[in-house]
Amino acid sequence: MNENRWLPSREINTETVNIKKWTTHQILVYSSDELLKIHRAISKSLWSCERAVNGIVRHVKKGGRVVTIGAGGSGVAGMSVMRELPQNHEALSPHNFTYRVAGGGSIFDPLGCEELEDSFEEGRREMDALSVNDKDVLIFISATGRTPYTRAAALRAKERGSLTIGIVCHESELLTEVDIPIFLDVGPEIFMGATCEMSATAQKHTLDAIMNAVVIKLNVTNGNICRARLVHEKARTRHHFFKNHAQGS
C-alpha cells in the first residue's frame, strides 16, 4: 500500500469520540488548544516555508505571478490572504497576486458548488485559462492533498514550467507532485471531515507568514507600515497619520 495515500481512517480523532458527553467548557477548551497544534505544525514546516519565500521572490522579480489554487475551505483560505495583498500593498498588482477557487464566484453560494473539487478537467482548464508559465508560482492548498481539482491543476502547472508549492495537512499525493511541499501535521480535526476548521486555519496562517516575508523581501512596505491603496477612509486616515508622524519625528 502507498504510505502517502490519503485514507479516511487517518481522519478519525480518537480524543473526541465521546464529545457528545463533554461539557460546553470542555468543548471550548479543546477547541482553543487546537491552536497549539497549529503552532507546532507551522514551526516544523519553517524550512520549507523559507524555500517557498525564496522561490516566490525570485520569480516575482522576473515578472512572474503568484496564484493560490484550492477548493472549499482551503481555496477560501488562499483567497482570504491573496485578495488582501494588493489592497495592503499598492505596489502589488491584483493581476500578479491572485487566487482561484474551484467553482469561481459560485463559492459564495450557500453550498458553494463544492462538487467541482472532483473535476480533474476543471483543474487543468484553470491552468490553461491562466496561461501559466515558467515565470509563475502556483501555490496549491489542500487539506487532504488528494483533491482532484487541485492535484490536476498542480500537474498541469508543472507541465507548463511553473514553480509549484503545496500546502497540505495530510501525508498524501500532492506532497509528491509539487516542487516545494509544505506539510502541516495538525492531526485529525475535532469532527472527521471538517477540514475547513483546523486545517484551513493552519493553511491561512502559513500563507500569511510566507507572504509577510515576501512583501518585506520585495521592499514594498515602509518598515512595518503598509503602503496601502487609499481606497477607503480608514486607509487615508492611516496614511495621513503616518505621514505627519514621520515628519514630526
Active-site annotation, residues: 84, 117
Distance CA 38, CA 182 (A): 13
Report how far residue 182's alpha carbon sits from residue 148's, in angstroms, rounded to the nearest whole number. 18
H/E run at residue 99? strand 97-101
**How far is C-alpha 116 from the geometric centre of its chain's CA atoms?**
19
User: Is-contact 202 184, C-beta < 8 A?
Assistant: yes
The residue to which cell 491552468 is assigned: 127
Q: Which amino acid is at 236?
A: R
User: Is 146 within 8 Å of 118 (Cβ atoms)?
Assistant: no
All residues at 6 or more sequence positions from 230 whose CB lies less than 8 Å from its CB, including other chains: 90, 236, 239
- The length of the chain is 249
